[in-house]
Chains A and B, each alone.
Chain A
Amino acid sequence: MKNFNMTRFGHMLKLDFAEGRKAMMWGALCMLLLYLFFFWFAYNIGYHSSNVTDWDLHIRRICESVGVFSMMAMYIYFLITASTLYRGEQKKQHRIALLMLPATNLEKFLSRWIYMLVFMLVGGVLTIVLADCIHIIWLQIADHPVHSMTKALIHSLPQASIYNPVVEIVEVYIVFVAFHSFYLLGGLFFKKFHFIATSVVFAIVFSALVWTVNSFGYRDTPAQSDPTMTYILWGGFFASITIVCTWLAYWLFCRWQVVTHKFANI
């Protein structure tokens, strides 16, 4: 394909990782500190309450709640990352450097997207595992019953599930990717306050969506009686949002210029 050269794409990836490595490390460190803070906070509240009789159950509950809060924090952090992926390029000289680099728009866009994905998956998961290891070591030193946050979270998933845990995880993942692409688009469109501005638009769009769905009497449709159909319909809907937002983000990226404009630099 003329628009895509694997060797050049490799060079592009290498460049993105080399230039974004510091930001990636800082992000991972912030997440690690946040997980540890959650754990310290939950543990301290439990420790000072006088009616703890079953420490094993208590520590497991702490792990579960910390896991849930950590996942939420990680999720918000990923959305911030998506919306600030091109923040550096809002500065004219950085935009010139990126646009003048001899690679196609597709290679540049895809490379940055993959860099973010790897950061999210590897960075996010590794940080959770590392935080887990630290608190397991600490629990052993403090002579408390040892529980893993990750394990507690995984065990709690089937209990929280109302249908099929695997299907629900896939569905959550699809929704997650859709939101992510929405924030990526917002990050490219808004020149300042990327995350806040995108969040405001996000709140308006999805409030309107929820209102529309309720207004059209979704509860009475056959989909409501068949959970599989519901998951397929919502999965398809959020997959469409992903495609539209990603395509729009790529379109904006291709039309980027060195202009000073209120919104997207096109």
Chain B
Amino acid sequence: MIEVNNISFSYPGQKERVFDGFSLRLEENKIYGLLGKNGTGKSTLLYLVAGLLRPKTGSVCCDGIATYKRKAEILEEIFLVPEEFDLPSMTLKRYVELNAPFYPRFSQERLDACLRDFELTADLDLGGLSMGQKKKVFMSFALATNTKLLLMDEPTNGLDIPSKSQFRKTVAQNMSDDQIVIISTHQVHDVEALLDHILMLNQRELLLNASVQEIMDKYVFEYRQPSEMEGVLYAEPTLQGNAVMAVRQDGQAETQVNLELLFNAVTKGLVK
């Protein structure tokens, strides 16, 4: 379990705090979607959770141990896929040979399965791959490490259209019961079918912290004609009519969450 307790954080040389008295609790067997406008601190929160940043006050703990201490037994359970990364110029086999021993629950079978899903082979030379291919390889390695906490910053950036849907399938198939996955993204449509829980960040505060099921229980997301706008919380005109988010009535069927509508409604203060 990840506990963020009352943290405050600001970058060196900046007076304005990114977080001030921020708290959060993340539970196992869930995929969290971390959403927010640019500069609201999504990546900063990921880095704080990973122990790459040190909060000024408060603490970020993974199973009761502060992550900023970067103890080996904690790092064995955390894997971060940053938005930008470099892979060394070597074969994938050699990369796995050098890096896998650091992760006690690393699974070669899972790596092979993920690579197959992404239509990649195991005999790759990492130096000759495109950015998208590197991302697929790195995410496959991340899933194969089987760490308790998997953090992904904009994982679908740079992936082609078929790979985005493949990404959803691969993550869903290869996630274990005790795992926590946090996906920070702007590409909400790429991950909306995957998420269990939504976290929306605004400056210094959490605007929304709700499970997808709770959202689906309360609201419906559908297209309506201008004459059917009763009970609508938020609407956006589209070619198919108005895309709306409305309060769900008794007996009304569940609809899939439209994260873009939800995000806009929440940031405009229409939903709390």
Partner of A15, one of B11, B78, B99: B99
The chain A residue sitting closest to B82, CB to CB, is A96
- B54, A5: Cβ atoms under 8 Å? no
Which of these binds chain B: A112-120, A191-199, A258-266?
A258-266
Q: Does B90 touch A at the CB level, under 8 Å? A: yes
Contacts of B101 in A (CB 8 A): 11
Contact A97 B52, CB 8 Å, known A5-B72, A11-B101, A18-B98: no
Indicate whether A100 sits within 8 Å of B76 (C-beta atoms), given known contacts A18-B94, A105-B70, A261-B13.
no
Task: Give A96 to B153 CA distance when docked, in angstroms.
Answer: 13
Query: Which residue from chain A places its CB closest to the CB of B147 in the assembled complex?
Result: A102
Most chain B CB within 10 A, of A14, A19, A101, A107, is at A101
- B181 to nearest A CB, angstroms? 16
The verdict on A99 contacting chain B, using a C-beta distance below 8 Å, is: yes
Digit string of B24-59 for contact with A (CB within 8 Å is 1, else 0)?
000000000000000000000001001111100000
Asked, given contacts A100-B52, A102-B76, A107-B72, whether A261 binds B82 with beta carbons under 8 Å apart, the answer is no
A217 vs B84: C-alpha distance when bound (angstroms): 58
Nearest CB of A to B128, in Å: 16
Number of chain B residues whose Cβ lies closer than 8 Å to a Cβ of chain A: 29
CA distance A261 to B14 in the complex (A): 10
Assuming the contacts A258-B52, A259-B53, asked whether A100 and B13 have C-beta atoms less than 8 A apart, the reply is no
Residues of chain B within 8 A of A8, CB atoms compared: 72, 102
- B22 within 8 Å of A by Cβ? no
How many angstroms between the C-alpha atoms of A105 and B13 in the bound complex?
26
The contact of A259 among B12, B50, B85, by CB within 8 Å, is B12
In the complex, A262→B13 CA distance in Å? 9
For residue B200, which residues in chain A have a CB less than 8 angstroms away from its CB?
none
Identify which of A96, A104, A261 contacts B52 (C-beta below 8 A): A96
Asked whether B226 is an interface residue with its Cβ less than 8 Å from the other chain, the reply is no
A-B pair count, CB < 8 Å, reads 68
Over the window 76-92 of chain A, the binary record of Cβ atoms lying under 8 Å from chain B Cβ atoms (1 yes, 0 no) is 00000000000000011
- What is the bound-complex CA distance between A100 and B51, given in angstroms? 8
Instruction: Tell me which of A5, A101, A107, A259 contacts B11 (CB under 8 A).
Output: A259
Rounded to whole Å, the gap between the CB of A251 and the closest CB of chain B is 14
How many A residues touch the partner, as a band?
20 to 34
Q: Is the CB of B78 within 8 A of A100?
A: yes
CA distance A5 to B75 in the complex (A): 14
Distance, CA A97 to CA B53, complexed state (A)? 14
Q: How far is the CB of B200 from chain A (nearest CB, A)?
A: 23
B86 A100 Cβ-Cβ under 8 A: no
CB-CB < 8 A to B103: which residues of A? 102
Q: Are A92 and B53 in contact (CB under 8 A)?
A: no
Nearest CB in chain A: distance from B144 CB, A: 14
Could you say which residues of chain A place their CB within 8 Å of the CB of B269? none
Determine the distance from Cα of A258 to Cα of B71 in the docked complex, in whole angstroms.
17
Question: For window 13-51 of chain A, which residues contact chain B by CB distance below 8 Å?
Answer: 14-15, 18-19
Question: In the complex the two chains form, what is the Cα distance from A102 to B71 in whole Å?
Answer: 8
**Is B80 engaged at the interface, CB distance under 8 Å to the other chain?**
yes
Smallest CB-CB A-B distances: 7 pairs = A102-B75, A102-B76, A258-B52, A102-B102, A261-B12, A11-B101, A93-B85
Q: Can you give 14 contacting A-B residue pairs, CB < 8 Å?
A: A15-B99, A18-B88, A18-B94, A93-B82, A96-B52, A96-B80, A100-B80, A101-B75, A101-B99, A103-B72, A257-B54, A258-B52, A259-B12, A259-B53
* Known pairs A15-B99, A18-B94, A94-B86 / 5 extra A-B pairs, C-beta < 8 Å: A5-B72, A96-B80, A100-B50, A103-B102, A107-B72
B residues apposed to A, CB below 8 Å: 11-13, 47, 50-54, 70-72, 75-76, 78-80, 82, 84-86, 88, 90, 94, 98-99, 101-103
